[in-house]
Amino acid sequence: MDLGLRDRTYIVTGASGGLGLATARVLAEEGARLVISSRNEESIARAAAELGENVVGIPVDNADPESAERLAATAVAKWGALHGALISVGGPRPGTVLDSEEDDWRAAFDSVFLGGLRIARSVARSGSDGTSIAFVLSSSVKAPLNNLAISNGLRPGLAMVAKNLADELGPNGIRVNGLLPGRIATDRVRELDRKAGDPESARRAAEKLIPLRRYGTPEEFGRVAAFVLSPAASFVTGTMIPVDGGYLRAL
């Protein structure tokens, strides 16, 4: 299937590694033009060089109120149009509701919630008809994850924002969806497994809860994300799409 991505322009945040980089790689291979970002200047420059000449890397922090407009303006100035964004933000610090410090909640709200919202609004203002916005959320949108209280608190709120935006922007031909990754073999998930004390045992225990009996790969997520962003998914909006090997038990 031709996804219709050639010569379309997308922003991908959190693109120096993990799910963001995997999605950027698929988009670039399909002929899309990209503005990619992360907080680390060296790592985002390396990712941009790897992905090819139609990719611009910008070191920005999603918590910075000016980042969203900078990303959108760069895309429009470089290629004259903006057709969508994958909004991927770093995972909040692990912890329980009672043990997590208020400063951790505040920092996560600034970067995960407000940062993601600002980018979506900037893309909506700058995007043309057929623009597609996808939030990288989590299976915690539908069921809480152990020891990830801050993520459990913020992701469902962003999912409802995405649903609201789909209603508000649909008449303008702009689609908004959420992606709900489960246990995918990224540095973030490996870090969480290490915090359990015995990473291999933690992974085996988690895999027993996944019908496919394995972790997903970033590439598997990237292919789904690229489809959702593409014109091939032109009648998909306001939807939360699990990419979790069947982990979620809810419909």
User: 234-251 pLDDT, tens per residue?
Assistant: 999 999 999 999 999 888
- Per DSSP, the chain holds a count of helices (H) and strands (E) of 9, 7
What pLDDT is stored for residue 250 in this prediction?
83
Q: How many CB atoms lie within 10 A of CB 109?
A: 17
The predicted pLDDT at position 197 comes to: 81
Domains of the chain: residue spans and CATH: 9-185+219-239 (3.40.50.720)
How far apart (Å, rounded) are the C-alpha atoms in residues 71 and 125?
12
Quick: pLDDT tens for 151-208.
Answer: 999 999 999 999 999 999 999 999 999 999 999 999 888 988 888 788 898 899 999 9
pLDDT at 128 over 90: no
| Average pLDDT over every residue of 77-104 | 93
Tell me the average pLDDT across 55-64: 94
**Per-residue pLDDT at 67:** 95
How high is the pLDDT of residue 195? 81
Note the pLDDT tens digit of each residue in 21-43. 999 999 999 999 999 999 999 99
SS (H, E, C) 204-238: HHHHCCCCCCCCECHHHHHHHHHHHHCHHHCCCCC
Q: What is the pTM of this model?
A: 0.95
Supply the pLDDT for residue 214: 96
Q: Are 61 and 112 in contact (CB under 8 A)?
A: no
Instruction: Please report the pLDDT score of residue 193 as a whole number.
Output: 86
